[in-house]
Amino acid sequence: MDNSSNITLNALLNYDRTFNKHDVKALFATERIAGDNMNFWAFRRSYTSEILDELDLGSNALKDNGGSSSVVRRLNYFGRVSYAYDSKYLAEFVWRYDGSYIFDPVGKQFGFFPGISLGYRISKENFWKDNISFINEMKIRGSWGKTGNDRIAPYQYLTTYGYNGSYVFNESVSEQALRALRIPNEGVTWEIANQSNIGFDAQLLNNKLTISADYFNNLRTNILAYRNASVPGSAGLNLPRENIGKVVNKGFEFQVSYLDNTGDLSYQVSVNGAYSKNHIKFWDETPGNPEYQKSTGNQMNARLYYQAIGVFIDAAAIDKYPHWNGARPGDIIFKDVNDDGKIDGLDRVRSNKTTIPTFTGGFTIDLEYKRFYATILFQGAAGAERSYRTFSGGPGVGNFMYNLVKDRWTPDNPSAENPRAWERGGAYWMTDGEPNNTYFVRSSDYLRLKNFEIGYSLPSGYTEKIGIQSLRVYVSALNFLTFTKMKDFDPESPDDAPGSIWVNSQVYPLNKTTNIGLTVTF
């Protein structure tokens, strides 16, 4: 049973006026959100009869109940003033002043988030019309704005205690355990994103060609993160979130499409793409870590890996190169990154890639020729990596990829690309499911023919003779072709299945689907 009341009160003042070529709009608004949620559940099992379903009539032996509640309070003021002159010069100022119950009432609840955007339809200028007439429409625009984020667990400015497990006394008396949930951070407040962007929209060649492009530079500051990289375990703290991170995310996106027809052929071709890469300007760092392991300067969530540089051919090869204690022929060679003559945690290097691609793009073609038609969609991504690993079954050896097995190191095949067969727990280069080195991390760049379809519609003259209004035959395919170096896994699939060896649904390769179809309308 849920008892929720979520009341949102809005008040808006709107002003809209046009005089001569001036167009002025203004909005002032306030919003008050109050949510009170309560839920309660109870059950009994073992009803003797199905006729009456009252809670009270079930068995006394099998019954339980529970419940919880939460509150939400937000108070936001926001507004907008926009001005346009002759639909040529456009300017807008927006602002928000947001209050959130998540933060400390003493000065941390409210954040001010202004923004400004400007536009210039340069193609409306006479000099443009007179001189650059092949560009029918050209608009240049830019914006800058701040937004706030408070989506974290509430009350981190307080020390609160919650129930956490229970303990048994006197053989069988269960008592609850109450534990401090975290130490407080009185200073916790809004995370801020400064978003700026500049771009243009254009239409050319009698509006056949449309181009739009944007460059953006977003700076997130006061990022709400845990300071667990620098606070030692001996402090014993359950850390609260703190406003400690600073990350810049820069990139561009574009879309170009061309639409035309010649004779019986009509076609549309479009290309789109986006590039973005983030870069940590400030992050909590473990003080003793070497430079090449720092998060700062890298992408967010970039991981540390040992650098796999091959497989030990034999015992002599092991003697020749620094190695992990207990290394055997067929083991993966880790690079001695700091040249100290031994392999240890200092030889891990922060990856310059993450599981998120830096470039994504697509390419579509639509064709129609007389009664034939075709659509083709390619998509691709680049700049990401994902783990290539096995999910082991029972104890000892488990399930292995054929691709890892077939050219694996054996005494008879010592110069193999892949390491020897290993037990799940034993190898230093394969710790329980988590890849710790670059051998198990591979580029997931791909280009994929996601979808294509060709078809033909029979002339209605023919079909009507046999009582059919229209008849269309087609062949279509999904995921028909993929160009990638990532074997066995779908390069589009998420990387984060670990933790559970059962989450296999995410890692199975995609189905390739081919359809041959006939659409008949009577």
Partner 1 sequence: MNYKNSNLLYIFLGFTFTLLLSCNKSFLDTKPSTQFAESDVWSDANLIQLNMNSIYTQNPWSFSWTSLSVDEARCYDGGNDYNMSNMLMTPDNAGWGDWNGRYRAIRDCNVFLENIDKLGDDQALIDGVTLKDRLKGEATFLRAWYYHLLIKYFGGVPLITKSYTLTDDFTAPRNSFAECVQFISDECDKAAALLPLENTGENKGRATKGAALALKSRILLHAASDLYNTAFPGFSNPELLGYVDGNRDQRWQAAKDAAKAVIDLGIYGLYQPNPASAEEATKNYEELFTSKQSEEDIFIRYFSASVNQGADFWGVFPNGFGGIETNGPTSELVDAYEMSDGTVFSRANPAQNIEPYKNRDPRFYATILYEGAKFRPRPANLQGIDPVGVLQVGTWEKWDAEAGKVTYVYGLDSRNSAVYGGGYNNAGTSMLKYINRRTDMYVNHQDDLTWRYIRYSEIILNYAEACIGLGEDVEARTYINMIRKKAAMPDVTESGDALKERYQNERRIELVFEDHRFFDVRRWMIGPEAYHPMHGVDVVYKLNPDRTTATIPIITPVEITTGKWEDKAYFLPISRDEMNKNPKLVQNPGYN
Residues numbered 377-416 forming contacts with partner 1, rule: CB under 8 A: 394-396
Contact pick of 13, 42, 52, 205 for partner 1 (by CB under 8 A): 13
**73-89 burial, b for 16+ CB within 10 Å, e for fewer?**
ebbbbbbbbbebeeeee
Q: Which of 438, 348, 443 is nearest to 386 (CA)?
A: 443
70 touching partner 1, by CB under 8 A: yes
Choose the binding region for partner 1 from 27-35, 124-132, 274-282, 482-490 (rule: CB under 8 A). 27-35
DSSP 408-452: B-BTTBTT-SBPPP--TTT-TT-BTTB--BGGGEEE--EEEEEEE
* Residue number with CB closer to partner 1 (190 or 428): 428
- Which region, judged by CB under 8 A, interacts with partner 1, from 142-150, 225-233, 259-267, 308-316? 225-233
Rounded least distance, CB 61 to partner 1, Å: 13
Q: For partner 1, which residue of 27, 81, 229, 248 counts as binding (CB under 8 A)?
A: 229
| Cβ neighbours around 44 below 10 Å, total | 17
Phi and psi for 396 in degrees, rounded to 5? 65, -135
Amino acid at site 438 = T
Residues in 274-333 that interact with partner 1 by CB under 8 A: 286-289, 324-326
Q: Does position 48 bind partner 1 by CB under 8 A?
A: no
Is 74 a binding residue for partner 1 by CB under 8 A? The answer is yes
Which listed residue (86, 319, 407, 423) binds partner 1 by CB under 8 A? 423
Compute φ and ψ for 336, nearest 5 degrees.
-80, 85
Rounded to whole angstroms, the Cα distance separating 491 from 386 reads 8
| C-beta of residue 509 within 8 angstroms of C-beta of residue 492 | no
Asked if 51 touches partner 1 (CB under 8 A), the answer is no
Residue 55: strand, helix, or coil: helix
Nearer to partner 1, 340 or 488 (CB): 340
Answer yes or no whether residue 18 interacts with partner 1 by CB under 8 A: no
Among 63, 129, 179, 370, binds partner 1 (CB under 8 A): 179
Check residue 107 for interaction with partner 1 (CB under 8 A): no
In the region spanning residues 238 to 277, those forming contacts with partner 1, defined by CB under 8 A, are 238, 240, 242
Shortest distance (Å) from residue 305 CB to partner 1: 13
62 binds partner 1 (CB under 8 A): no
384 phi and psi, to 5 degrees? -115, 165
Stretch that binds partner 1, among 81-89, 137-145, 177-185, 374-382 (CB under 8 A): 177-185
C-alpha span between 33 and 72 (Å, rounded): 7
Q: How far is the CB of 304 from partner 1 (least distance, A)?
A: 10
Minimal distance in Å, beta carbon 148 to partner 1? 14
Q: How far apart are CA 306 and CA 309, in angstroms?
A: 9
Distance CA 133, CA 280 (A): 45
**SS3 call for 122:** helix
The window from 19-27, 81-89, 150-158, 263-271 that contacts partner 1 (CB under 8 A) reads 150-158
Residue 467 in contact with partner 1, rule: CB under 8 A = no
Residue 7, C-beta contacts closer than 8 angstroms, at least 6 positions apart: 32, 33, 34, 35
Supply angle C-alpha 336, 338, 339, rounded to 5. 65
Is residue 235 involved in binding partner 1 (CB under 8 A)?
yes
Tokens 């783990």 -> residue: 387
Measure the CA–CA gap between 76 and 16, rounded to whole angstroms: 22
State which of positions 485-514 bind partner 1 (CB under 8 A): none
Nearer to partner 1, 393 or 494 (CB): 393
Count of residues interacting with partner 1 (CB under 8 A): 79
Pick the stretch among 136-144, 195-203, 342-350, 512-520 that binds partner 1 (CB under 8 A).
Answer: 342-350
Q: How many CA atoms lie within 13 A of 42 on its CB side?
A: 8
Instruction: Identify which of residues 74 and 88 has a Cβ nearer to partner 1 in the complex.
Output: 74
Tell the smallest beta-carbon distance from residue 319 to partner 1 (Å): 18
Q: Among 3, 4, 166, 460, indicate the residue that binds partner 1 (CB under 8 A).
A: 166
**At its nearest, how many Å lie between partner 1 and the CB of residue 241?**
11
Burial 107-133 (b: 16+ CB within 10 A, else e): ebbbbebebebebbbbbeeeeeeeeee
